[in-house]
């Protein structure tokens, strides 16, 4: 089997473990069943969840069995935030989110295909609503709560922060009991002996280890373990997974495949190699070669291109990735705009500087006006100069007349115009 611990260390993923050598031995003696939890706090996972989903996938490729736990029960409560109480969502909303997240996880993990016999490393999709929803308040307090020290719970960093500020409800205060009990149930049901998560989950995860010891005496599967990964931030200090337009979601209805591709392609040189290690399944040799090429010719963006293509294929498939690449090339005059489908073209123009105009009763505004409205030039006079100097394009055709006005026949799919100033400044018009 692949030494997964060495691989995680090289990729900069390994933050904390309980007994590294014991864990390494258990994995070598494997296969080990491990799990990670995903609470449904929104209608989709986002790129911040990818590190954990892909960590499960790495263990699966190394010969172990992952359990993806979707928190249909814990999602009704919510892991306490450090600054404010979470808003509680209604059960039907949570149920829908659980189903969506389960489908999204299938992009990264191999579950048993319908009609096929399960393989030893096939992933398991579990929902903690199954056991938490069946537990009475008396059972929770008597069987689980008695194993928790209030002193230790009050010493937790999030609890201390909240108590020093806006306070915390008993609902959120008790979340650790639920997550810890998840580990007990998965230990009993699947022989799960490893939980992985972000380093901010260390307290919740170790509480589960202690609960297994107290409730089951570490029998019959032996001691459980935990492993956390480093929290990822951008080199400039901004939050990973955020753009000017907001969160980067895995749902294509919330973040288009084009925008998803561009997020990775726009990674800075100071971040991209780290992202390749954390998110890519490329080998050490391949990543080191991309690092060398980036250092020698950063303008070629070889590492960014490799990362963007791999991530987009992984989530959205090869066909969508090729559409995105074709759109990227066509916008800059290196392909046929007419060959792009409407959805991909709209997504591309939405990500670029653009203007929206109402469907014209008679005619569209002049190109000069549209260049200014889209933000490609600071003023109409600058737009005229761009045309006079030969640097303005409409649908990749050079505009030579400062009075030029697009016609209905110029509208791609009846709705779109692609504008360009020079070689690299692309924008568009979307007719509403």
CA distance 414 to 408: 7
pLDDT of residue 2: 56
Token pair recorded at residue 215: 């409730």
A 10 A CB-CB count for 26 gives 17
Residue 160 contacts by C-beta under 8 Å, 6 or more apart in sequence? 154
CB atoms closer than 10 angstroms to residue 285: 8
Q: What is the pTM of this model?
A: 0.90
Q: For residue 68, which of 90, 96, 49, 85 has the smallest C-alpha distance?
A: 49
Q: Residues 45, 37: contact at Cβ < 8 Å?
A: no
418 with 331: CB under 8 angstroms? Answer: yes
Half-sphere exposure of 163 (CA within 13 A, CB side): 10
Instruction: Identify whether the C-beta of residue 279 lies closer than 8 Å to the C-beta of residue 311.
Output: yes
For residue 132, give the H/E element and its range. helix 129-132
Query: How would you write the pLDDT of the chain (432 residues) with one tens digit per residue?
Result: 458 999 999 999 999 999 899 999 999 998 999 999 999 989 999 999 999 999 999 999 999 999 999 999 999 988 888 888 888 889 999 999 999 999 999 999 999 988 898 899 999 999 999 999 999 999 999 999 999 999 999 988 889 888 888 889 999 999 999 999 999 999 999 999 999 999 989 999 999 999 999 999 999 999 999 999 998 888 887 778 877 778 999 999 999 999 999 999 999 999 999 999 999 999 999 999 999 999 999 999 999 999 999 999 999 999 999 999 999 999 888 888 989 999 999 999 998 899 998 876 678 899 999 999 999 999 999 999 999 999 999 999 999 999 999 988 999 999 999 999 998 899 999 988
- Write the DSSP string, 18-45: SSHHHHHHHHHH---EEEEEE--SSSS-
> Which string of b and e fits 173-186 if b means at least 16 CB within 10 Å?
bbbbbbbbbbbbbb
By residue count, the chain amounts to 432
Beta strands in 244-318 (DSSP E): 246-247
Give the per-residue pLDDT at 1. 46
The predicted pLDDT at position 114 comes to 85
Cα separation, 415 vs 358, whole angstroms:
10
Give the per-residue pLDDT at 83.
Answer: 82
- Residues with Cβ within 8 Å of residue 426, at least 6 apart in sequence: 331, 332, 352, 353, 418, 419, 420
Token output for 77 = 């409560």
């Amino acid at each position: 089997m692949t030494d997964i611990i060495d691989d995680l260390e090289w990729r900069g993923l390994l933050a904390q473990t309980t007994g590294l050598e014991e864990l390494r031995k258990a994995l070598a003696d494997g296969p080990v069943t491990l799990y990670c939890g995903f609470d449904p706090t929104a209608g989709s996972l986002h790129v911040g969840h990818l590190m954990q989903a892909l960590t499960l996938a790495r263990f699966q490729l190394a010969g172990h069995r992952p359990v993806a736990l979707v928190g249909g029960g814990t999602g009704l409560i919510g892991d306490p935030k450090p600054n404010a109480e979470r808003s509680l969502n209604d059960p039907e909303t949570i149920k829908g989110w659980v189903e969506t997240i389960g489908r999204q996880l299938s992009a990264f993990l191999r579950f048993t295909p319908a009609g096929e016999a399960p393989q030893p490393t096939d992933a398991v999709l579990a929902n903690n609503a199954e056991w938490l929803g069946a537990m009475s308040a008396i059972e929770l307090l008597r069987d689980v709560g008695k194993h928790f020290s209030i002193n230790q719970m009050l010493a937790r960093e999030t609890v201390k922060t909240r108590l020093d500020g806006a306070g915390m409800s008993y609902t959120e205060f008790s979340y650790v009991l639920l997550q810890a009990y998840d580990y007990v149930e998965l230990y009993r049901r699947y022989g799960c002996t490893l939980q992985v998560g972000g380093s901010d989950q260390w307290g919740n995860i170790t509480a589960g280890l202690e609960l297994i010891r107290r409730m089951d005496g570490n029998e019959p599967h032996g001691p459980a373990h935990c492993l956390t990964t480093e929290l990822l931030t951008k080199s400039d200090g901004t939050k990973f997974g955020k753009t000017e337009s907001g969160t980067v979601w895995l749902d294509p209805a919330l973040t288009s495949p084009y925008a998803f591709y561009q997020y990775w392609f726009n990674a800075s040189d100071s971040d991209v190699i780290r992202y390749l290690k954390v998110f890519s399944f490329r080998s050490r040799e391949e990543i080191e070669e991309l690092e060398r090429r980036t250092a020698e010719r950063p303008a070629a963006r070889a590492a960014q291109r490799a990362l963007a293509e791999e991530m987009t294929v992984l989530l959205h498939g090869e066909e969508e990735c090729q559409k995105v690449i074709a759109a990227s090339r066509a916008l800059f005059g290196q392909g046929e705009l007419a060959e792009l489908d409407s959805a991909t073209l709209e997504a591309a123009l939405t990500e670029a500087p653009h203007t929206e105009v109402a469907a014209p009763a008679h005619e569209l505004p002049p190109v000069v006006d549209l260049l200014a409205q889209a933000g490609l030039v600071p003023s109409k006079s600058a737009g005229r100069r761009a045309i006079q100097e030969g640097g303005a394009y409409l649908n990749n055709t050079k505009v030579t007349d400062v009075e030029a006005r697009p016609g209905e026949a110029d509208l791609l799919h009846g709705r779109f115009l692609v504008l360009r100033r020079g070689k690299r400044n692309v924008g568009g018009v979307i007719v509403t």
